[in-house]
Amino acid sequence: MDEWKAPAKVIYDETPTSLTCPAWQWTERQSKIKFKEHVKQLLRRLYIHASLLLGLSREHPQIPNAPRAVIVAAGGNLGGAILSLPLIEAARYRWPDTHLSVVSNTQHGAEIVKFAGFGDSHHVVPNVTFIRSFFDSRFRYKKSELRALGAEVIITNFNLVLPYIVTSLRVPVRVGHVGYQLTVGRLQWDDIFNIQVPSLSGMNWLASYADLVRSFDGEFPGVPKIKVAPDLRHLAALRLQCAGLAPGQRALAVQAGVWAQQSYKQWPISLLAKACSDLWSERQLVPVVIGAPGEEVTAEAIQNAIPEAKVINLVGHTTPGEAAAILSVCSATIANDSGLMHLSAAVGTPTVAIFGMSDPRRSWCYGGDSRNRIIRRRDCRPCMELDQTFPLTCEDRPCLSEIKPDTVVKAVCDIIDN
């Protein structure tokens, strides 16, 4: 059985509540395409057809066995880049002696791929609109840099937010997803790929990447795994000791916050603080709070809830690689559906993942590891899968606010005691 298809151990918090998930009243509406979007579609079509007329082949190509260079798009932020690691690894196995270049949308994405040891060169492409791409000097420089590689194959996924760069690089073999986003909406730029791989709403991310690998005759390696070198684990352990972790104490990694654009995925900080307090009382687990700058309030709330304990606050003080090393020496992790969740599971730390608006069947792929747990409410209809704007309109967020600290505490105790 493929590891990402293995059933995850899901714990449902079914505490009675007076709140109801408003997504159950949601019905799909047929929206009209605005004039502005019609213009954008026309420009895209003109650009694609112009590229084809200038020699960009639409015929299904023969995949080269020894290309000069291959470009693989990691796409997305930290979590998206981690999920793309098996795709990048498969490209390395398929072309072991070829220069493998990895393109990311974010700096964190590029850093974690490099830390994981995949790719010969790494590039962060500035996130600009299609129109601005013709005038933005940073984008044009990066495009020139990638074009100089002389790549004969480019492999992209639905998560790349800059699909138009594929056409401008004029790579002969172009592998990519066509059809639908895995969440909501159609993918654009379908005609730029001459090896087209169908993508459907609701697919598991890793399953969609496995389809890409099969299309270029590769061998899919399975779930994302990041090996942390022993010397880096040792340094991470020393760092925690210097920050206040006493000999014999166990560390509990705690996510400080979620990607700002998806802050609605955050389990309420007051409930997180209560869970950390109970885990300190019951198991003497020392919270190690990890997150981006600006999320210090989480560490402060946990410290206030456990005044007698030393809470290790690393918010804003770790690179992706440093976070991976620290997670690898922690006994367990509490996280939302996020990059830190994927990072924790990828380095092999038992992970308690709290899901609300998102569907674990789409983004979770670590069910083969029995030490992990998913916590969610059965009465939640994951609204992110229905309409990307829906979570922004939900004020009570019962899918998260009604998950009790006791449920999380029991899950953490279960995985560290077994």
Tens-place pLDDT, residues 269-315: 999 999 999 999 999 999 999 999 989 999 999 999 999 989 999 99
What residues make up the domain containing 374? 3-26+227-417
Q: Across residues 63-78, what is the average pLDDT?
A: 91
Gap between the Cα atoms of 241 and 192, Å rounded: 52
pLDDT for res 98: 97
User: Do both 12 and 152 map to the same domain?
Assistant: no
Domain closes at, from 155, 186, 215? 215
pLDDT for res 54: 63
Domain presence at residue 278: yes
- The encoded tokens of residue 365 equal 């792929």
Whether residue 180 has pLDDT greater than 90: no
pLDDT for res 66: 94
Domain presence at residue 220: no
User: Do both 258 and 394 map to the same domain?
Assistant: yes
User: Do both 199 and 104 map to the same domain?
Assistant: yes
Of 30-44, 173-187, 373-387, the poorest mean pLDDT is in: 30-44
Gap between the Cα atoms of 320 and 194, Å rounded: 35
Domain presence at residue 184: yes
User: Do both 41 and 176 map to the same domain?
Assistant: yes
User: Do both 297 and 265 map to the same domain?
Assistant: yes
User: Do both 299 and 413 map to the same domain?
Assistant: yes
Tens-place pLDDT, residues 106-143: 999 999 999 999 999 999 998 888 788 888 899 899 99
Gap between the Cα atoms of 144 and 150, Å rounded: 10
Residue 385 pLDDT class (50, 70, 90 cuts): confident
Of 172-181, 184-193, 238-247, the poorest mean pLDDT is in: 184-193
Q: What is the DSSP letter of 396?
A: S
Gap between the Cα atoms of 82 and 72, Å rounded: 13
Whether residue 6 has pLDDT greater than 60: yes
Whether residue 252 has pLDDT greater than 80: yes
User: Do both 138 and 44 map to the same domain?
Assistant: yes
Domain presence at residue 314: yes
Domain closes at, from 192, 215, 238? 215
Gap between the Cα atoms of 58 and 52, Å rounded: 7
Q: Across residues 234-247, what is the average pLDDT?
A: 96
Structural domain count of the chain: 2
User: Do both 201 and 242 map to the same domain?
Assistant: no
- Please answer whether residues 295 and 262 qualify as being in contact, where contact means their C-beta atoms are separated by less than 8 angstroms: no
Whether residue 30 has pLDDT greater than 60: no
- The encoded tokens of residue 393 equal 């309109």
Q: Which residue has the higher pLDDT, 23 or 388?
A: 23
Whether residue 31 has pLDDT greater than 70: no
- Please answer whether residues 162 and 127 qualify as being in contact, where contact means their C-beta atoms are separated by less than 8 angstroms: yes
User: Do both 60 and 191 map to the same domain?
Assistant: yes
User: Do both 369 and 261 map to the same domain?
Assistant: yes
Residue 42 pLDDT class (50, 70, 90 cuts): confident
- The encoded tokens of residue 80 equal 């998206």
User: Do both 39 and 18 map to the same domain?
Assistant: no
Q: Report the chain's C-alpha Rg in angstroms.
A: 22
Q: Is the pTM of this model over 0.85?
A: yes
14: CATH: 3.40.50.2000
Domain presence at residue 222: no
- Please answer whether residues 388 and 292 qualify as being in contact, where contact means their C-beta atoms are separated by less than 8 angstroms: no
Domain presence at residue 405: yes
User: Do both 70 and 186 map to the same domain?
Assistant: yes
- Please answer whether residues 373 and 353 qualify as being in contact, where contact means their C-beta atoms are separated by less than 8 angstroms: yes
Residue 53 pLDDT class (50, 70, 90 cuts): low
Domain presence at residue 221: no
Tens-place pLDDT, residues 143-158: 999 999 999 999 998 8
Other CB atoms within 10 Å distance of the CB of residue 395: 6
Domain presence at residue 74: yes
Domain closes at, from 171, 189, 215? 215
